[in-house]
């Protein structure tokens, strides 16, 4: 999904707008910052336990070199290392059809988690790995070699067919091929325990009725069919359609086959991490007036997904419930109704150049023998952690109004 990303600064936003004069501006591409955020400077991120300071040129929490410290006796160091039984890193939207993104994956250090230490390092990949099966398999092979365990759930780009050369009859056949490839590579697509943590992948797809907030009617915008490539790049059997809930229901029901395994994980784990590609709650996306494409919420999430993950977490308290998602490419970390929601997207190269969160925090270490308690700074979730959502307010944000005045027509 090509999203609407926050910029590092208003000056960068102006530069991006200026660049738009010389090349096509994608319908779903944007660079917006919350109105009251301190976006005139980069924010210093808070140190996250288990994610050490990265060393150049590999910008990845997993690649960390420890900060200088007083000497520790070797026996004490070994005992401390042995006490760590599991770390879990998360990332989404790798999009390794871009050479820069595949290079990022290949630069992940081999020593991160290939099962060589006393514990297990696991990676959760929340969809949109690659558009072609060949790139998908190459990417997962690299990740599998670097982590003791890799979990995956499919995203929309993973099921595109336009570059597959007629290899698959429809997107469901390609889904089967991707899951078969995961099985061959030892990538988990079902529930499993990592230490005391239960990790549960959740299949999902979006539906238009997910969007419950008031539409912005002051501007003309392209239709979903024109703006969203899924409508053309995916192909479905005749009983599944983009304009109703049938695809979302189909993917949600795929989770039923894991019912027994999910129950076993629920009964055995101290904490649970569920993950999906799509968005479970509309509050995890900026309001329509903030977006360059106000119809975006109609193609991002699923009510069935939120219900299912709530049933799994069963009102767990005290920070023991986390859900990781992707798709919109918004960096996000917030707690809503006792569940922590995290999005840690690699996203497209052009997006990383203009957002507050560079690639240096990825993959994000969300668990180190317990969920990391600190909320990671992310521009939009920080904004909504401090400001009330106003879904009835349809007055365009200033940067959106300028965009539409330049590229589109007002009613």
CATH number at residue 356: 3.60.21.10
Does 409 score more than 90 pLDDT?
no
- Quick check: is 2 in a domain? no
- Quick check: is 270 in a domain? yes
CB 397 within 8 A of CB 24: no
CB 247 within 8 A of CB 241: yes
Region 301-323 average pLDDT? 92
- Quick check: is 306 in a domain? yes
Q: Give the gyration radius of the chain's Cα atoms.
A: 21
Which of helix, strand or coil describes residue 25?
Answer: coil
Secondary structure string (H, E, C) spanning 81-104: HHHCCEEEEEEECCCCCCHHHHHH
Distance of CA 380 to the CA centre of its chain: 14
pLDDT band (50, 70, 90) for residue 26: very low
CB 143 within 8 A of CB 123: yes
The residue whose two tokens read 């192909």 is 235
What pLDDT was estimated at residue 44?
A: 42
Mean pLDDT for the chain overall: 82
- Quick check: is 161 in a domain? yes
Does 141 score more than 90 pLDDT?
yes
CA distances, 279 to each of 172, 236, 390 (Å): 21, 21, 19
Rounded to the nearest 10 degrees, how much is the dihedral formed by the CA atoms of 376, 282, 240, 176?
10
Q: Which domain holds residue 365?
A: 85-408
- Quick check: is 366 in a domain? yes
Longest Cα–Cα distance in the chain = 72
Q: In what order do the strands lie in the sheet with 321-325?
A: 192-194, 197-201, 271-275, 321-325, 339-343, 332-336
- Quick check: is 329 in a domain? yes
pTM: 0.82
The residue whose two tokens read 């229901």 is 249
CB 182 within 8 A of CB 192: no
Token duo for residue 72: 């520790």
- How far apart are alpha carbons 311 and 124 in whole angstroms? 21
Region 253-266 average pLDDT? 97
- Quick check: is 28 in a domain? no
Region 203-207 average pLDDT? 98
- How far apart are alpha carbons 29 and 348 in whole angstroms? 10
Among 97-111, 164-178, 251-265, the minimum mean pLDDT is found in 97-111
- Quick check: is 77 in a domain? no
- Within 10 angstroms of residue 352's Cβ, the number of other Cβ atoms is 20
CB 153 within 8 A of CB 127: yes
pLDDT band (50, 70, 90) for residue 119: confident
Token duo for residue 153: 């759930």
Question: Based on the structure, what is the number of domains in the chain?
Answer: 1
């Amino acid at each position: 999904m090509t999203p609407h990303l926050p910029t590092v600064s208003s000056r960068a936003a102006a530069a991006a707008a200026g660049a738009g004069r010389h090349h096509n501006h994608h319908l779903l591409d944007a660079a917006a910052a919350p109105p009251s955020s301190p976006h005139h400077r980069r924010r210093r991120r808070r140190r996250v336990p288990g994610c050490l300071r990265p060393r150049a040129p590999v910008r990845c929490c997993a690649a960390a070199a420890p900060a200088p410290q007083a000497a520790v006796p070797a026996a004490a160091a070994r005992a401390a290392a042995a006490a760590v039984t599991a770390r879990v890193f998360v990332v989404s939207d790798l999009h390794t059809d871009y050479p820069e993104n595949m290079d990022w994956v290949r630069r992940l250090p081999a020593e991160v988690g290939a099962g060589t230490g006393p514990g297990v390092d696991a990676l959760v990949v929340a969809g949109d790995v690659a558009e072609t099966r060949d790139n998908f398999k190459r990417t997962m092979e690299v990740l599998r070699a670097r982590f003791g365990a890799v979990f995956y759930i499919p995203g929309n780009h993973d099921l595109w067919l336009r570059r597959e050369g007629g290899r698959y009859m429809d997107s469901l056949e390609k889904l089967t091929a991707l899951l078969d490839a995961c099985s061959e590579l030892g990538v988990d697509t079902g529930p499993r325990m990592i230490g005391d943590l239960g990790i549960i992948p959740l299949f999902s797809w979006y539906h238009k009725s997910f969007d419950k907030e008031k539409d912005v009617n002051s501007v003309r915008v392209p239709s979903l069919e024109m703006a969203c490539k899924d409508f053309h790049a995916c192909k479905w059997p005749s009983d599944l359609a983009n304009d109703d809930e049938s695809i979302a229901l189909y993917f949600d029901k795929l989770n039923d086959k894991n019912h027994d395994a999910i129950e076993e994980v629920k009964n055995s784990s101290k904490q649970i991490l569920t993950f999906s590609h799509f968005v479970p709650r509309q509050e995890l996306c900026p309001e329509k007036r903030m977006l360059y494409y106000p119809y975006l919420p109609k193609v991002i999430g699923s009510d069935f997904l939120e219900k299912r993950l709530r049933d799994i977490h069963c009102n767990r308290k005290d920070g023991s419930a986390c859900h990781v998602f992707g798709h919109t490419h918004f960096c996000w970390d917030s707690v809503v109704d006792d569940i922590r929601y995290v999005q840690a997207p690699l996203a497209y190269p052009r997006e990383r150049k203009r957002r507050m969160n560079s690639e240096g925090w990825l993959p994000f270490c969300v668990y180190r023998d317990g969920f990391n308690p600190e909320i990671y700074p992310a521009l939009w979730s920080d904004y909504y952690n401090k400001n009330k959502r106003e879904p009835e307010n349809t007055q365009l944000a200033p940067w959106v109004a300028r965009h539409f005045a330049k590229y589109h027509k007002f009613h």
